[in-house]
Structure 1
Amino acid sequence: MLNNAMMNAKDAVSASLAECFVTIEGKRYNFMQAINLEAKIEKTKSEIPILGKTGKGNKTTGWKGTGSATFHYNTSIFRQLLYRYKETGEDIYFDIQVTNEDPTSGAGRQTVILKDCNLDGGILTKFDADAEYLDEEADFTFEDFEMPEMFTGFSGM
């Protein structure tokens, strides 16, 4: 048998043990109605021709931040932003802070703050007579991010 160090099952981070806060114009909301959220970075690259090689290299030239979230349909916070844009043309940017922390896991705590988020659009109203509950999805972009807390490394990594 290999003599490699292995992760303990208890160190997997629970999917539901997280906090999510949204800060809009200095007002901070505990976004407890969030069901899930995922934010990604896509690096933009340029193909670089290199003399003496048959293939091209790839050079990173920037990045784009995108995200999506699903939350319970029980708040009008984002609809208010969309309405304000419709009425005034003023587009509102906001921050989203997500902290993952599972007290059972040795991974510790990670906090990521997505800066200058902007909605791609949103649901104005809905109903579903056959559903157990209503939820809604929102896609967004973000301009920057911070990581004030990072997971700790495990022994053997």
Structure 2
Amino acid sequence: MSDNVMQARDAISGSLAQCFVTIEGNRYNFMQAINLEATFEKNKTEVPILGRTGKGNKATGWKGTGSATFHFNTSIFRKLALRYQQTGEDVYFDIQITNEDPTSSVGLQTVILRDCNLDSTILAKFDADADYLDEDMDFTFEGFEMPQAFNELSGMK
């Protein structure tokens, strides 16, 4: 078998992750997270170029957005919404995600999303027909760090 083929064991398990949320110095293990996805999106401007029939594209900035689903069993984000309603003070927080599958040769990756801010939060919920309750959360973030990156797979270079 060729060394230039990814091995099945190097696919990262979707459930072997950790998620921590830090709000005002308090670090919470968000073990009730079901999924989370954060996206870095470049803002681009079309640039007319003399001598070309098509326009070029130049990056002019970026924005960070994310979405997550959690089990509906914590009031942390509802308390932040209540505080904003009562005082007008908006609270920003950090989210740290680590993916590590011990079977894979790629090791682990940690990404810290800085200055996250909720777009909305569910205040109350019930569903008499549901097996369990969950809640979706959309957010933005102002920056990110990657203190640990995956190793390159054998055969990539």
**Does the alignment reach a TM-score above 0.5?**
yes
Matches of 1:32 and 1:117, distance apart in 2: 18
CA RMSD of superposed structures (Å): 1.0
2:11 is the counterpart of 1:12 = yes
2:134 corresponding residue in structure 1: 135
Matches of 1:151 and 1:128, distance apart in 2: 40
Moved over 3 A (4+): none
Structure 2: runs of 5+ lacking an equivalent: none
- What SS class does the counterpart of residue 118 from structure 1 fall into? strand
1:98 corresponding residue in structure 2: 97
2:120 is the counterpart of 1:118 = no
Equivalent pairs, count: 156
AA aligned to 1:67 is G
2:79 is the counterpart of 1:80 = yes
2:145 is the counterpart of 1:146 = yes
AA aligned to 1:142 is F
Matches of 1:57 and 1:83, distance apart in 2: 46
Deviation at 1:13, TM superposition (A): 0.3
1:7-60, CA deviations, whole angstroms, 9 ceiling, x for partnerless residues?
100110000000000000000000000000000011000100101111100000
Matches of 2:149 and 2:3, distance apart in 1: 24
Deviation at 1:5, TM superposition (A): 0.8
Deviation at 1:155, TM superposition (A): 1.2
Contact 2:109-2:149 at 8 Å conserved across structures: yes
Deviation at 1:154, TM superposition (A): 1.2
Structure 1: runs of 5+ lacking an equivalent: none
| 1:73 to 1:3, Cα distance in 2 relative to 1, 3 A | closer
Contact 2:3-2:154 at 8 Å conserved across structures: no
Matches of 1:25 and 1:71, distance apart in 2: 21
Matches of 2:36 and 2:2, distance apart in 1: 37
AA aligned to 1:21 is F
Over the matched positions of the two proteins, sequence identity in percent amounts to 73
Deviation at 1:4, TM superposition (A): 6.3
Deviation at 1:98, TM superposition (A): 0.1
2:63 corresponding residue in structure 1: 64
AA aligned to 1:124 is L
AA aligned to 1:117 is C
AA aligned to 2:27 is R
